[in-house]
């Protein structure tokens, strides 16, 4: 039963990602602006996503380090 629920969730997520990719492709093909302008806009968006992901990853690794350090202190006590 757990496997079926997890599989259903993964299928939904895969469908969501696929739908988003198809929607983005259609939007690019029907965009009212030039290709150069669209590429620049996509490049800026990609840089923003990369920077945001990098910042979130840094926050996450900092949190993990903090938890590990706290756990090590508790073990030593």
CA distance 31 to 11: 30
42 vs 18 pLDDT, higher one: 18
Give per-residue pLDDT as tens, 4-13.
555 677 788 8
Q: What is the pTM of this model?
A: 0.48
pLDDT at 57: 93
The tokens describing 64, both together, are 């993990």
Contact status, residue 38 vs residue 31, Cβ threshold 8 Å: yes
């Amino acid at each position: 039963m757990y496997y079926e629920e997890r599989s259903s969730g993964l299928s939904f997520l895969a469908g969501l990602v696929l739908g988003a990719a198809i929607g983005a492709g259609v939007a690019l093909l029907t965009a009212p602006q030039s290709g150069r302008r669209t590429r620049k806009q996509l490049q800026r968006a990609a840089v923003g996503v990369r920077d945001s992901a990098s910042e979130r990853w840094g926050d996450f690794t900092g949190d993990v380090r903090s938890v590990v350090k706290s756990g090590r202190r508790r073990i030593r006590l």
